[in-house]
Each structure stands twice: as structure tokens, then as C-alpha cells.
Amino acid sequence: MKGAGKPERNAGKKRRFKLSLKVKLSVVLALLLLLTVLVMSELVLRGIESNQRRQTEAELSRYSRAAEQYVRQSYYSLENPLTDEEFMTQRGQRLALYITSLNGMQTYLYDASGREVGNSLPGVGDNDVADTLGFALDGAIAYETSGDSLIYFSPLRVEDRMIGVVRLQYSLKSSQDFLETIRELFRTAGIVVFAAGFVIGYLYFHRIASLIGKLRKASQQIRTGRYLRAIPVRRRDELGELGEDIYFMSGAIEEHIERQKQFIGNVSHEFKTPLTSIKAYVDLLDLYRDDPQLAAEAATSIGKETERLYEMVEKVLRLSAMEKYDFDQHAERVDLKELLEELCGRMRGKAERYGVELLPELEEASCWADRESLVHVFINLIDNAVKYNVPGGKVRVRCRMEKREALVRVTDTGIGIPFEARGKIFEPFYTVSKDRARSYGGTGLGLALVRELAEKQGGAISVSAPDSGPGTEVEVRLPVSAKN
């Protein structure tokens, strides 16, 4: 039943609608452009409307002042005095016709009580404007919009008293037509911008999506163990940098995997030799159980091979752990002269057994490092210098300060290391001579561990030939102070 359920879930996943990134980004770009056009068009249209309103108000104010001036002149030109109401009643129609001839707009005149006394086009465009007229009768300029017309009221004053109201019928059709034309242009522009923005965005983001697809394909290729041989995306932007990073990451992973394979192969090969020897002696003991000499020889040999195997396992585990974790490091100020004197004292007995003279030549020197790690480093270096020396040889251990570093040199008078082998001497399981290393119990792991420990302290290690003659000189440089 479980097996039957999985295809259904997978099928459900396949049927799920998926909107590609390029479509999403294209729609977003088009919407942003459309929003920009809409906001801009709204601001422009409002600006045009505001400007039209100001111009219309200014024009009507000018016409109303001209009308008032004409009415005032007519009032002062009377031969016989008339009341304000009589003047507006007798002269209103003629005044309305003359004002229309001046401004070309339908004109109405009202007396101070709000009664119509003049109309340049009787019966045309009459509207219920009582409320707006009321504001004008109170001495205020007032107007209202009716269809495509603006009805404008302005008080008429003579000698600081209001004798009536002039009403101008202003056509807004041209302004409205202009505004509608602009609005239609913006609608068309919005549609064009949306379509063009979507197409351009789709093409551009299609390019970006294809580049992302290449990067994704490259990562999948690395995941399946097929490492990159070229940078997947070459661009002078973040995608190009990401492509370079993926390429270099692929190389680092490949190198790491190859090192692991080589390490495992070397471990298997090195473990095989002592195990083969142990198995051979076990088989001999099984065949010749009553041979005391063979038993003694087997015990000695099995003990040596077991000790060598144990040492090898311990170093392999430590090297492996150092690649994954940082050991607890307790960095402190270390007096190198004192430390090396102590270590030389420990190793003097072994040097005498090998017929080698151990010569410490130490100056005052100190460094910032983990003491136990330095003990392991220098014990290994002195031990190698003693073991791979010649009878009657010498091992010199020197330390001194040099600028902002502490310098330690271990020099022997042995057969030395060929120049071509010096670059490999710190690799795991590498030995210059397999036979000689086996005879001395060497595993090829000591110097690899020494390099790892030295670098953990922020130091460096190198090997060269001494200036004084044959042999090997190993140099360790250590920092004087903690690195920030």
C-alpha cells in the first residue's frame, strides 16, 4: 500500500500549477510601469484641471469687472435720477445685450432683490440657480457647473452699494474636450506601456531565468558527482560572480573528494602490510605450535606490527578529526627555549641508542600557541631527525626571534631528502623510502600531522637542505602574538 501511495503524491506534485519566475517578474514590471503611468496621468490631469480653473476664474473675473464698469458708467450718464430698482428695470435688457457683445457669453442681469431684469438670449439655458444667486446677492462671487457650462455670478456695485448681479454663462466644452483628449492619450499610453513592459520584461527575465537555469543545472551536475570544467555563467554582475563561486566550489569539492579517496586508499594499503605480517605469523604458529623459537619470534614481530598499527590508527583518527573540527586550543605565551630544552632532555636517551648526538643551540624566544600542540610538533621533528640519521650523526635544535616571528630549526646530518620529494613530504602516507620507513616503524603520517598542528597555531613549516652539508633542515615559524 505504501508503494501505491507514493505515485499518487508524486502525481499530485506534477499537476500543481507552477508560474515561472520570468512571468512573475514580467507582470510585476508591467504593473509597476502601469502604476507609474496612472499616477503620472492623474497628477497631470489634476494639474491641467487646476490650471484651467484658475484661468477661467481669472477670465470671468475680468469680464465681470468690465461689466460692472459699464453698468456704473451707464448709471452715472442718466439725465434724470432713477432709483436702483428703476435703473435696473429700465436699462437691464439693453445692458445685458451690450455686455454679451463685449464678451460673447450669454449674460443675465438681476436687480438687488434677485429679479431677472435682462437676458441676452431669452429662454435659452435657463436653470434653477436660486441658491448660487443667493450667495451673489449677499455680496460674494459664486459659480456652479451645469453640464458643459460654468454659471458665474458677480455683484454689481455703484458708490459702494450693490444694485444688482451679473450672471455670465461660460462654455467649458473646449476645456473638457481638451481634458478628455489628454485622458484618452494616457489610457492609450497605459495600455502600450503595460504591453511593452510585459514583453520587454519577459524577454529580459527570460534571459535571467535561463542563466539561473544554467547555475541550477551546474549545481545538480556537482550533486551527481560530475564536476565542472568551465564557469557556467560569464557575466560582469552578481550572476557572473555566483557562476565563478560555483565553479571554484566544484573544484574544491572535487579536490577534497580525490584527497579522501587517496587517503582511504593509502590507509587501506598501509594497514594491509602489518595485518599481512600478523596473519602470516598466526598461520605459522598454527602449523608449528611446539616451536618455542618461532613462538618468541612471532610474539616479538606481532608486538611490533601491532604497535605500528596502533600508532597508525591513532594518527589517522587525529588527522581525520582535525579536518572536521578544531581541537581545543589553549593558546598562551610559550617560552620556546625552556620548552625545547625539556624536549631535548626527553629525546637524549633515544639519540644515544641510535648513536646520534643531540645539540640544543637555543636563544631566548617565545611565541603565542597551544603548548601541547607544540610538544607534539617538536617531538615528531626531533624523533625523525634521530631515526633517519646516520651513526655518529648530529641533530641540532635551534630557536631565535626574527622580526615578529619565532623561528625553530631542527637540522640533522642524515642522508637528506631529494629536492623533488620536499613538496610531498608533508602529505599523508608519503615516505621517501618505503623500505626504510617500514624498518623504522614509519607510517608517513607524522609530518602531515605536524603541518596541520603548526598551521593551527597560525604558523608555517618548510623543509630544505642545510648549508653545512648533507642532511635535512626543518624550519617552523610561529607568531609572536595572537592574531585578531
Is residue 230 assigned to a domain?
no
Buried b (16+ CB within 10 A) or exposed e, 142-177: bbeeeeebbbbbbbbebeeebbbbbbbbbebeebee
Is residue 209 assigned to a domain?
no
Cα end-to-end distance, the chain, whole Å: 60
Claim to verify: residue 292 and residue 408 sit in the same structural domain? no
Cα 478 from Cα 460, distance rounded (Å): 7
Do 219 and 250 form a contact (C-beta atoms < 8 A)? Answer: no
Cα 248 from Cα 231, distance rounded (Å): 8
For residue 308, the model assigns a pLDDT of: 67
Claim to verify: residue 367 and residue 297 sit in the same structural domain? no
For residue 273, the model assigns a pLDDT of: 60
Do 264 and 257 form a contact (C-beta atoms < 8 A)? Answer: no
Residue 176's SS3 state is helix
Residue 184's SS3 state is helix
Q: What does DSSP say about strands 142-146 and 149-158: parallel, antiparallel, or unpaired?
A: antiparallel
Is residue 475 assigned to a domain?
yes
Comparing CA positions, the residue from 357, 330, 475 lying closest to residue 405 is 475
Claim to verify: residue 139 and residue 263 sit in the same structural domain? no
pLDDT tens digits along 136-148: 899 899 988 888 8
Cα 451 from Cα 444, distance rounded (Å): 12
Q: Which residues contact 75 (CB under 8 A, 6 or more apart)?
A: 87, 158, 163
Cα 378 from Cα 384, distance rounded (Å): 10
Identity of the residue numbered 81: P
Cα 17 from Cα 197, distance rounded (Å): 24
- Single out the residue in 178, 197, 218 at which a domain terminates: 178
Burial label for 479, CB within 10 Å (0-12, 13-18, 19+), is: middle
Is residue 270 assigned to a domain?
yes
Claim to verify: residue 133 and residue 79 sit in the same structural domain? yes
Q: Which residues contact 422 (CB under 8 A, 6 or more apart)?
A: 463, 464
Q: What's the CA dihedral at 301, 306, 308, 314 to 10 degrees?
A: -170
Measured N-to-C along each axis, helices 336-353 and 371-387 cross at an angle, to the nearest 10 degrees, of: 30
Identity of the residue numbered 388: Y
CATH code, domain carrying 99: 3.30.450.20
Claim to verify: residue 164 and residue 310 sit in the same structural domain? no
- Single out the residue in 321, 353, 370 at which a domain terminates: 321
Claim to verify: residue 28 and residue 167 sit in the same structural domain? yes
- Single out the residue in 155, 178, 201 at which a domain terminates: 178
Do 265 and 430 form a contact (C-beta atoms < 8 A)? Answer: no
Comparing CA positions, the residue from 264, 452, 430, 308 lying closest to residue 370 is 452
pLDDT tens digits along 396-449: 999 999 988 999 999 999 888 887 777 778 776 666 555 554 455 555 567 888
Is residue 196 assigned to a domain?
no
Claim to verify: residue 242 and residue 344 sit in the same structural domain? no
Low-confidence ranges of the chain (pLDDT < 70): 1-19, 123-127, 262-273, 308, 311-312, 315-329, 428-445, 483-484
Domain that holds residue 170: 23-178
Q: What does DSSP say about strands 405-412 and 394-402: parallel, antiparallel, or unpaired?
A: antiparallel
Question: How many of the other CB atoms lie within 10 Å of CB of 266?
Answer: 18
Burial label for 425, CB within 10 Å (0-12, 13-18, 19+), is: buried
Claim to verify: residue 159 and residue 28 sit in the same structural domain? yes
Residue 113 grid coordinates: 432683490
Residue 230 grid coordinates: 568551465
Claim to verify: residue 173 and residue 94 sit in the same structural domain? yes
Is residue 205 assigned to a domain?
no
For residue 12, the model assigns a pLDDT of: 44
For residue 210, the model assigns a pLDDT of: 86
For residue 246, the model assigns a pLDDT of: 87
CATH code, domain carrying 274: 1.10.287.130
Claim to verify: residue 446 and residue 390 sit in the same structural domain? yes
Is residue 316 assigned to a domain?
yes
Claim to verify: residue 312 and residue 439 sit in the same structural domain? no
Specify the DSSP class assigned to residue 417: -
The DSSP H or E segment spanning 158 is: strand 149-158
Claim to verify: residue 252 and residue 366 sit in the same structural domain? no
| Domain count of the fold of the chain | 3
Is residue 216 assigned to a domain?
no
